[in-house]
Amino acid sequence: MEFAELIKTPRVDGVVLHRPFLPTVEGTLCLTGHHLILSSRQDNTEELWLLHSNIDAIEKRFIGSLGTIIVKCKDLRIIQLDIPGMEECLNIASSIEALSTLDSVSLMYPFFYRPMFEVIEDGWHLFSPEEAFKDLESMTDEWRLSEVNKDFTVCPSYPSLVTVPKDIDDDTLCKAAAFRHGGRFPVLSYYHKKNGMVMMRAGQPLTGTNGRRCKEDEKLINATLRAGKRGYIIDTRTIAVAQQAKARGGGFEQEANYPQWRRIHKAIERSNILQESLIKLVEACNDQSNSMDRWLSKLEASNWQSHVKEILTTACLAAQCIDRSGASVLVHGTEGTDSTLQVTSLAQIILEPACRTIRGFQALVEREWLQAGHPFQQRCAQSAYSNGKPRSEAPVFLLFLDCVWQILRQFPCSFQFNEHFLITLFEHAYASQFGTFLGNSAAESRVKLKLSRKTVSLWSWVNRPQELERFVNPLYEPNSLVIWPSVAPQSLLLWEGVFLRWNRSTKFLDEAYEEMVHIIEYNKELQNKVNSLRRQLAQLETEDSPLQTP
């Protein structure tokens, strides 16, 4: 298919663009296969380059022959284009609609994007299961890297290499896979160096209504326990939801069959409820006519903050079981690709200082989200302005980032990255020139789409020194401790950087950030001066001393 077929009108002159916080611009609107471009052809006015894939929804309005298109973006920005001429306006609108909802992944921009920078370090090869396993090997020899899934037949959403207990053979894994939702048999997610406890994740067991059991599954997870130790199974669903799952062939681990495990149910909501929550929250934030009562009651009714609290609490619980109770943990929900990953990745942020560095966080996103089979493409197909019934869209990853931001707010010196980094990941998960978040699983992205050959990795760009600079938290000081966040409502804030970003100017807050950077840099500059003076002095003393001694 040619993009030209979809573009009914490639350019219109005299279009007026309205954007938050920027002066209106008049210029020429051009549509290309992947971008909506508005150019004033004047030197110092900023042009608009908007990825079609960033467009969540559009609305058309007409006053006489002047048409207006309201473009609502997945990054939550809303822009307005005033287009003279009804026909042009309709053409532009339908073109945008078609181009922003392309079905075929291979037509997406990342397959066409050519970087304007030299790729020094290829992000596609930075984080492999082999590398992660090398780290693990240096700490323990109780695990092995299994190739059982090398052609993605045992579990389509797992990577080709997974870490499993050493004593469990591939045959057992296959049988356990048949007993778990989506073939997601229990695999290692995190090894806690301090006490050797582990966190594993899986899909729900397929017990069904007649209480099916699977000896291999039991053997597999029992193999992760030390002698005489008990473990915890954290089911991210309420007991009621887990019970209902039985009717559809799912279920949960029965105490009788897993006597060494204690099951805890939490209440992380399913994806369609989360999507609804996002829509309500953004609607509340965008409504400028709110009275205080209405604002607070809409904020409450959106339930967004409740989801943040529940997810964070569950992650803390998992971390607490591991670090404080010295027990291993298995986490699952239904599929094991959403709430499960929120919990396992946040628990690692809490427990593992390396995950709080920029590189470590990238590795975490790779390991616990991309390779662990979070269906990014489905979940991020639409954002908060989607109308109509959500299919499989859900802000699962955004909620994870929100939770990370909450911890960052509570431990502002313990993260190497800043809020801007998290917002950038949010943007790229929904629309990007990079291929990192394309596809729904390792099988799809690595093999079918050949992303690593055909697209550029987000990490290749992020890790360039000149970009990295913008993501570094000036307050960072490595902190080797476990960080326990507060999950009280008083401690959890609305993530203004995302949800109010386009509603109010952040000029004064940005100035404060700059001032903070300035204070710290000036301090470092003076330290360097003093240190170099001190070195000079020391040098002088050693040179002088022989002369002084008679």
Shortest approach of other proteins to residue 238 CB, angstroms?
A: 13
Q: Which is nearer to other proteins, 108 or 308 (CB)?
A: 308
Point out which residues pair with 91 in neighbouring strands.
none
We find the least distance from the C-beta atom of residue 212 to other proteins, in angstroms, to be 27
Query: Binders of other proteins among 276-315, rule CB under 8 A?
Result: 285, 288, 290-297, 299-300, 303, 305-306, 308-309, 313
Residue 125 or residue 294: which is nearer to other proteins going by CB?
Answer: 294
Least Cβ distance, residue 157 to other proteins (angstroms)? 29
Helix (H, G, I), strand (E, B) or coil at 186: coil
CA atoms within 13 Å, Cβ hemisphere of 29 = 27
Strands (E) in 112-222, as ranges, are 143-146, 162-165, 187-192, 197-201
CB of 307 to other proteins, least distance (A): 9
> 497: which DSSP letter?
H
Report the nearest approach of other proteins to the CB of residue 493 (Å). Answer: 8
Q: Which is nearer to other proteins, 62 or 522 (CB)?
A: 522
266: nearest Cα among 340, 189, 319: 340
User: Does the protein bind other proteins through residue 316 (CB under 8 A)?
Assistant: yes
Nearest approach, Cβ of residue 243 and other proteins (Å)? 19
Residues 466-495 that bind other proteins (CB under 8 A): 475-477, 479, 481-494
Q: Using CB under 8 A, which residues numbered 122 to 141 contact other proteins?
A: none
CA distance 260 to 10: 66
Stretch that binds other proteins, among 113-121, 167-175, 237-245, 515-523 (CB under 8 A): 515-523
Instruction: Determine, following the binding rule CB under 8 A, whether residue 262 of this chain makes contact with other proteins.
Output: yes
Residue 97 CA to residue 101 CA, distance in Å, equals 6
Q: Of these, 22, 239, 247, 512, which contacts other proteins (CB under 8 A)?
A: 512
- How far is Cα 140 from Cα 123, in angstroms, rounded to an integer? 28
Helix, strand, coil content of the chain in percent (nearest 5): 45, 15, 40
Match 């917002």 to its residue by tokens.
Answer: 423
Q: With CB under 8 A as the rule, give the number of residues binding other proteins.
A: 74
For residue 150, what are its two tokens? 């090398």
CB of 548: closest distance to other proteins in angstroms?
16
Tell which positions 396-455 bind other proteins, by CB under 8 A. 409-414
Q: Quick check: 526 binds other proteins (CB under 8 A)?
A: yes
Q: What three-state secondary structure class fits 120? A: coil
> Sheet holding 261-265: strands in order across?
187-192, 197-201, 328-332, 231-235, 261-265
Handedness of CA 140, 145, 146, 152 (dihedral sign): positive
Q: In what order do the strands lie in the sheet with 35-39?
A: 48-51, 35-39, 22-31, 11-19, 78-84, 66-73, 55-63
User: What size, in residues, is the chain?
Assistant: 550
Q: Does 321 bind other proteins (CB under 8 A)?
A: yes
Q: How far is the CB of 292 from other proteins (least distance, A)?
A: 4
CB nearer other proteins, residue 4 or residue 227: 227
User: Which amino acid appears at position 523 of this protein?
Assistant: N
Residue 325 binding other proteins, by CB under 8 A = yes
Contact between 515 and other proteins (CB under 8 A)? yes
Among 448, 450, 470, 529, binds other proteins (CB under 8 A): 529
Region binding other proteins by CB under 8 A among candidate stretches 22-30, 114-122, 186-194, 316-324 = 316-324
Verify binding: residue 509, other proteins, rule CB under 8 A.
yes
Long-range pairs of 537-543 with CB within 8 A, sequence gap ≥ 24 = none
Within residues 47-76, the interface with other proteins by CB under 8 A covers none
